[in-house]
């Protein structure tokens, strides 16, 4: 899908995710779109954001996007390279990460994430890669930003497996489990931005990307989607955001 002025829906999603990363934030970055977004942010408004990759690279500053979580360009440019048990124990569980960027195969209306199986666990229809670092990223980071492509098979009424907890059953579920982080605060898709209602924690459409109507988003969502009364339109990617992103992607 390409808009009239030349950006794609995936580029809009990446740019919107980049804007969600504040400067000086310490960010736990997954590979793929989250990594593109975090590196774009570092070149735009967040030069002092600290990117942490789960391979043990703290403060990585890759010049081109890595294709795996453990490319040499990450360790070469990092402030520190440490072992994997330390990353998860001292840094993530130690409460030192502000923002976790996660992808997802499926989410539900409370931003619970499935990256494990479609279908039953014992005899799955589709076996997905599994958890990786996500369950503890979702639990322990100050805030979580989720990116995924919109569709009725990805934003679903009920997920088959909770790989990583979002807002559970909604309301104060996270507080009851005594999780340290606030959980998913923003879900960014190729159609718009969803944010949890402050009370119920149900995801609500708060912004649509340019050219997208709220009804389009609702039609692509597997539950009865709530729409914010003051619905925004996401500013389109600027020329600078686009050129920097494309340069990063080589």
Partner 1 sequence: MSRFAGLAEAVAAHVGDGDTVAVEGFTHLISFAAGHEIIRQGRRDLTLVRMTPDVVYDQMIGAGCARKLVFSWGGNPGVGSLHRFRDAVENGWPRPLEIDEHSHAGLAERWRAGAAGLPFGVLRGYSGTSLADHTLTIAPIACPFTGEELAAVPALNPDVGIIHAQQADRAGNVMLWGISGVQKECVLSSRRSIVTVEEVVDSFEPRVNGVVLPSWTIDAVCVVPGGAHPSYAHDFSERDNDYYAAWDPISRDRRAFEAWLGGMRDGVAA
Residue (103 or 237) nearer to partner 1, CB: 103
Catalytically annotated residue among 54, 136, 202, 241: 54
- The structure tokens listed for 123 are 């005899």
Separation between Cα atoms, residue 32 and residue 69, nearest integer Å: 9
Smallest gap from residue 149 Cβ to partner 1 (A): 14
| Number of residues counted as binding partner 1 (CB under 8 A) | 55
| Position among 43, 45, 96, 124 found at the interface with partner 1 (CB under 8 A) | 124
Residues 6+ apart with CB under 8 A from 82: 56, 58
Report the largest interatomic distance among the alpha carbons of the chain, rounded to a whole angstrom: 48
| Position among 125, 199, 230, 250 found at the interface with partner 1 (CB under 8 A) | 125
| Position among 75, 96, 149, 223 found at the interface with partner 1 (CB under 8 A) | 75
Main-chain phi, psi angles of 102, to 5 degrees: -125, 145
- The structure tokens listed for 181 are 């982080």
Smallest gap from residue 92 Cβ to partner 1 (A): 7
Regarding 57 and contact with partner 1 (CB under 8 A), the answer is yes
**CB-based contact 68:42 (threshold 8 Å):** no
Q: Determine whether 54 is an active site residue.
A: yes
Separation between Cα atoms, residue 91 and residue 116, nearest integer Å: 25
- What DSSP designation does 155 have? B
* Site for partner 1, residues 126 to 185, rule: CB under 8 A: 126-136, 139-140, 161-165, 168, 173-174, 177-180
* Nearest to 118, CA basis, from 156, 170, 146: 156
Smallest gap from residue 114 Cβ to partner 1 (A): 8
The residues binding partner 1 (CB under 8 A) are 31-32, 54-57, 67-72, 74-75, 80-85, 87-89, 92-93, 116, 121, 123-136, 139-140, 161-165, 168, 173-174, 177-180
């Amino acid at each position: 899908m390409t808009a009239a002025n030349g950006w794609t829906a995936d580029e809009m999603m990446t740019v919107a995710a980049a804007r969600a990363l504040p400067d000086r934030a310490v960010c736990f970055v997954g590979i793929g779109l989250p990594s593109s977004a975090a590196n774009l942010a570092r070149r735009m408004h967040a030069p002092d954001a600290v990117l942490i990759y789960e391979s043990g690279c703290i403060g990585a500053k890759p010049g081109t996007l890595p294709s795996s979580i453990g490319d040499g360009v990450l360790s070469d440019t990092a402030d520190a390279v440490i072992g994997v048990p330390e990353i998860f124990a001292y840094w993530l569980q130690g409460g030192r990460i502000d923002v976790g960027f996660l992808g997802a195969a499926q989410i539900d209306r409370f931003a619970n994430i499935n990256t494990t199986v479609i279908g039953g666990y014992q005899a799955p229809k589709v076996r997905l890669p599994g958890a990786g670092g996500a369950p503890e990223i979702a639990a322990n980071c100050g805030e979580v930003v989720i990116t995924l492509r919109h569709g009725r098979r990805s934003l679903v009424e009920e997920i088959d497996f909770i790989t990583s907890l979002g807002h559970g059953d909604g309301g104060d579920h996270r507080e009851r489990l005594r999780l340290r982080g606030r959980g998913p605060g923003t879900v960014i898709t190729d159609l718009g931005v969803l944010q949890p209602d402050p009370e119920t924690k149900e995801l609500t459409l708060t912004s649509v990307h340019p050219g997208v109507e709220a009804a389009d988003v609702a039609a692509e969502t597997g539950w009865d989607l709530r729409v914010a009364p003051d619905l925004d339109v996401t500013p389109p990617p600027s020329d600078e955001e686009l050129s920097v992103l494309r340069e990063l992607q080589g």
